[in-house]
Amino acid sequence: MWIKGETKKMKNFLFDFDGTIADSGETAILAVQEGFKKTGLKAPSARTVRYYMGVPIEAFFPELAGPDFPEERIEELYDNFRQAYQELEESSTTLFEGMKETLAQLKADGKDLYVVSSKISTSLKRNLDTLGISEYFTDIIGSDQVENYKPAPDGVNIIVDRHGLDKNETIMIGDAKYDLQMGKAAGVHTCGCAWDTYDIELLKKEEPTYLFDKVTDLLTI
């Protein structure tokens, strides 16, 4: 556990979903690869997909598809990915150890919990319902609700403005550098999740307020 300086107790907890709340890394990788293959494209490597995880598919699929891929077929690629993801997610997406208990305790302690994800809202809500944790969250923001994707601060700002949150008591929690960049851009505290990060050094470079090894460390702030 790493704490950068001293901060006041947090009241509002904003979570990323994939790689933060739920272990869905292999699901995303397999779905991206299947989506590309079904569209007639070469499947990107698992390493490449992991590098981009944390931002919406709209932000990196066109780049991976290449400049010669017809723009009018990009929706087909998105649809093929989403279909593959939905087929895989139920058997492959699980909560990290201690996550449900931690969320329940935070809620019991009077904290307000939110999700700011790169998933579209329908998929995000379905995942939360399937995992049995929807009840803990006051609000969710998916990529379809923002004008600018992570690391732009839009998702955090929408939650802050909609619910009148004090930024000094608000923290953005995520496993990717984009989550931390988004939180910093919005002017809230940040927490890097080392329990499922692609590269912990990328998180350290962002100098988050906290960098935690265990889910239960969230109960200390």
Taking only the tens place, the pLDDT of each residue in 33-78 is 999 999 999 999 998 998 888 788 988 999 999 999 999 999 999 9
Per-residue pLDDT band for 137 (boundaries 50, 70, 90) equals: very high
Last residue of a domain, which of 38, 60, 92?
92
Specify whether 98 is located in the same domain as 79. Answer: no
The string of pLDDT tens digits covering residues 154-202 is 999 999 999 999 999 999 999 999 999 999 999 999 999 999 766 788 8
Mean pLDDT of the chain: 92
Specify whether 57 is located in the same domain as 134. Answer: no
Cα separations in angstroms, 202 against 45, 153, 192: 20, 19, 10
In degrees rounded to 5, what are phi and psi of residue 41? -110, 160
What CATH number is attached to the domain comprising 175? 3.40.50.1000
What span, in angstroms and rounded, lies between the C-alpha atoms of 94 and 79? 23
Specify whether 140 is located in the same domain as 215. Answer: yes
Specify whether 115 is located in the same domain as 214. Answer: yes
Specify whether 98 is located in the same domain as 187. Answer: yes
Specify whether 147 is located in the same domain as 54. Answer: no
Per-residue pLDDT band for 4 (boundaries 50, 70, 90) equals: low
Specify whether 128 is located in the same domain as 187. Answer: yes
In the chain, the number of structural domains is 2
β-strand pairing of 112-116 with 137-141: parallel
Question: What range does the domain containing 205 cover?
Answer: 2-23+94-220
Q: What is the pTM of this model?
A: 0.83
Q: Looking at residue 52, what is its pLDDT?
A: 86
What CATH number is attached to the domain comprising 52? 1.10.150
